[in-house]
Amino acid sequence: MGPQSSGKSTLLNYVFGTSFMMMDAMAGRGQTTKGIWMSKSPKVTETTVLVMDLEGSDGRERGEDDTNFERQSALFALSVADVLLVNIWCHDIGREHGSGKPLLKTIFQVNLKLFAPEPDRKRTVLLFVIRDKTRTPLPKLVEVLEADLDRMWDSIAKPPKYEGSKLKDFFEVQYAALSHFEERYEDFQADAVHLRRRFSPDNEETLIRGDEKLPGDTFAFSIRKIWDVIRAQKDLNLPAHKVMVANIRCQEILEDQLRSFTEDQAWKSLQEASSSGIVEGFGKRAHDLMESCVLGYESEARYFDAHVRLAKLEELQQRLLAVLQPVYQSQVTAQQAAILAAFDKELKLAAMEGGGLHGSFVAAAAACRMEAIAAFDKAFSKHLRIDGTPWDVAAESMSLAEVLDSRISGVRSREVLLATERAEQQLASLVSSPVIGLLDACSLGMWPRLYAVCGEAAAVADKDLSRALKGYGLSKKEEEGLSERLRHRATANMQSHVREAALTRLSRMKDRFADVFSLDDKKSPRMWGPSDNIPAIAQKARRAAASVLSQLAVIRPPDEEGNEQGDAIDAAVMQLAQGSLTSTPNANDTAVLTRQSSAASSSSVICPTLPASRATSALDVLSAATWPGADASQVLLQPHDVRTTWREFMSYSNVVVQQALSTQQANRLANNRLPPLWALGAMLVLGWNEFMAVLFNPVYLIIAALVVLFLRSLYLELDVEREMAAGPLPGVLRLSHKFVPACHSVVRKSQDAVLSMFGSAPELKPSRSASYAVASDQQGQEGRRRPSSSSPAMVEFTDLRREAKKDQ
């Protein structure tokens, strides 16, 4: 390797006997060898020697900008060859570029990085061939070359594992000097022959090393791979000298101008003003500062390479934009904030007025949005536009439009949410009152009515919500979603009340029992007169309480399956209640209870009963652990909760029934009590004459007996004790209204009794001793018999008391 036209091909031809093309001095100096040539040495016979002739470096044909191939070929020769001949003219020793030191430095550095050779394993021989030697002794020339090589080796960048290594660890440096080819031709030939002998293995100064021979059949493959690796190495593609100078100087000018820009007082004042708020004319002031910086760069860098200058100019502009961008963005943000503040005010006003002059919120929002974007475009053109920058109003307007749309969407969503919350509050009030009323009754068929109440309340709330959100541009899907939300909310409110009611089931059962048992048809307290059938009333009241328990057991879905499931639960609970209410009565008790049940059937309270088919197929609550087919999340009371609650309720109701029977017995005894003895004596003394007249006059006696019987029947028909329990004045008023119908009723019943007595007199047979009084209720119901102290009612009372003691 060596400079172009330095005699490399001539040297190889004379030393190795090859026939490489040599330069014709008579035709002029120019490039002779192009590329890399290879030939076998015909004059070295002891061993096979392949000789490569490289294209010379520093040739004018490639120019100063195309130096990549000379580096690639030099590195290829260094990597492949056992001996690298460096052709150097004697008068170039000591020079920087003439001696080829930059090229050597490059290939040494890349060789370490690319091929990672191992020190002292295979050392390539560097044979420096000094051409056209002068009177300077060879040792002096060698001393200069070795000093330059050591300095060059120390200056290259080495991989970390090669730090501290020396040149001799990788290369064996040898030297040879040849005479001038033209002036001392014979000496040159003699020197060439002497150099050829050094390639003989038997020579004392041989350059042939016998270690690590490469097989011939892999040589071509090996050098092809090495060339591919070298061609892919970018470190060899170094720029020309003027390009390097242009890069350095243009970069320095760029840094100076950028520093001057950032330290300019005008720029600092613009930054301070921008941090405080909107700066009028910001775009023009920023453009003038940037233009001044660019002009300063162009004036100083105009004499350097055009490509480098333009590339650095583009870099300067990008860095100026990077410095300017935060300040510019703060101004854009300030302008947008001012626009958004006015927009929010107008949008809030439009939402409060329901659209105002525009008629709807959607139209008002669209108008406000258009006005805001127009105002921003005007402000941007006046204050923010910077000519020569990629920042335009379209991108900023688009970002503002996105913010405006999000604000509109937020206000719309907030208004929809507020309207929905108001509708839900209204819905809660619409649902609560009817649901609480239905839960107080808890009669059979309550759940369809509960869902009907929810549906009606949801429809009313949905209608009001649609009216409130008119003009907000709700889609069909959104409207359906809000309607569905209200329906779910109504159902949730209803179920919440039901769950609360389930927690107070026992108190509700007691209240329901008290309503039916302790109050009459007119919701007045019962006085428990002789005509009241306490066992029948208690049975009816307990059934009403059982319906409360069955309705609160499970939340039932509104579909047909829910109705079937609810019927099964109702049947199971009512079967449990029926089993508790029924006993084994005797024949007389059965007749009495039958008459009492028929008399109580006209009550306004609904008493649930079970059909025979349903009763036989109902679930056995006494042995069940769960409700079959019921969703666990919808179960309020498990079967064991129902059993426990019913047992507690029966204990309570038995006590109440006992108290009522005791009160009735006490009232009966009080009504049959005779006047005091002094009153009897007074009546006997004062009414002796009248008594004797009546006694001795049969007509008077019969009339007096009829009057007494009539008054007694009228007293019972009017039910004076119960009516007077409400108070003297209300009692008198009620008795006055009932007096005439009661008289007619007593007369008619007396006639019927007399006719029946005379018609059945011949057929009368003796029976057990018992007295019955004829009485009727306030609606003119058929007569009921009042048992005496030994009647089946007392037997029922005894049974109830025994059952209460057992529960306690």
Give binding residues as ranges. 2-9
Question: How far is it, in rounded angstroms, from Cα 207 to Cα 196?
Answer: 10
- Whose CA is closest to 327, among 406, 371, 375, 261? 261
Binding residues for GTP: 2-9
Instruction: Single out the residue of 88, 91, 86 nearest to residue 108, CA to CA.
Output: 86
**Can you tell me the distance from the alpha carbon of 390 to that of 387, in angstroms, rounded to the nearest whole number?**
8
416-425: long-range contacts (C-beta < 8 A, 24 or more apart)?
416/469, 416/472, 416/474, 416/482, 419/465, 419/468, 419/469, 420/465, 420/482, 420/485, 420/486, 422/468, 423/461, 423/462, 423/464, 423/465, 423/468, 423/486, 424/461, 424/486, 424/489
- What's the token pair of residue 492? 């949730």
- Kindly write down the DSSP assignment for every residue of 24-57, as one continuous string: -GGG-S-----SEEEEE-SS--SS--EEEEEPPB
Q: Please, what is the Cα angle at 383 between 381 and 388, to 5 degrees?
A: 70
| Residue whose entry in the numeric block shows the structure tokens 């369809």 | 448
The conformation of residue 525, written as its DSSP 8-state character, comes to B
171's enclosing H/E stretch is strand 171-177
Burial of residue 759 (CB within 10 Å: 0-12, 13-18, 19+) is exposed
Which whole-number Å values give the CA distances from 231 to 76, 82, 226, in the listed order? 10, 21, 9
285, 292, 271, 274: which is closest to 382 by C-alpha? 285
Angle at 691 between CA 689 and CA 695, to 5 degrees: 120
End-to-end CA distance of the chain: give it in Å, rounded: 123
For the four alpha carbons of 13, 16, 17 and 20, in that order, the dihedral sign comes to: negative
CA distance 580 to 582: 6
Tokens of 282: 């910001």
Q: Is 780 left (phi over 0), alpha (psi -120 to 50) or beta?
A: left
Which residue, among 246, 221, 234, has the nearest Cα to 300 in the 3D structure? 246
160 CB-contact burial (10 Å; exposed 0-12 / middle 13-18 / buried 19+): exposed
240, 67 contact by CB (below 8 A): yes
DSSP 271-335: HHHHHHS--TTHHHHHHHHHHHHHHHHHHHHTTS-HHHHHHHHHHHHHHHHHHHHHHHHHHHHHH
- Helices then strands (H, E): number in the chain? 26, 7
Residue among 151, 153, 172 at smallest CA distance from 84 = 172
Question: Between β-strands 124-131 and 83-89, what pairing exists: parallel, antiparallel or unpaired?
Answer: parallel
Please check whether residue 561 is in contact with residue 528, taking contact to mean a CB–CB distance below 8 angstroms. no
| Residue position matching structure tokens 């759940």 | 447
Instruction: Report the half-sphere exposure of 62 (CA within 13 A, side-chain side).
Output: 21
- Are 376 and 339 spatial neighbours (Cβ–Cβ below 8 Å)? yes
Q: Tell which phi-psi region holds residue 441, choosing left (phi > 0), alpha (psi between -120 and 50) or beta.
A: alpha
Distance CA 81, CA 102 (A): 20
Cα torsion through 483, 487, 492, 493, rounded to 10: 100
- Name the strand (E) or helix (H) holding 643: helix 639-671
**Bridge partners, residue 175, by sequence:** 128
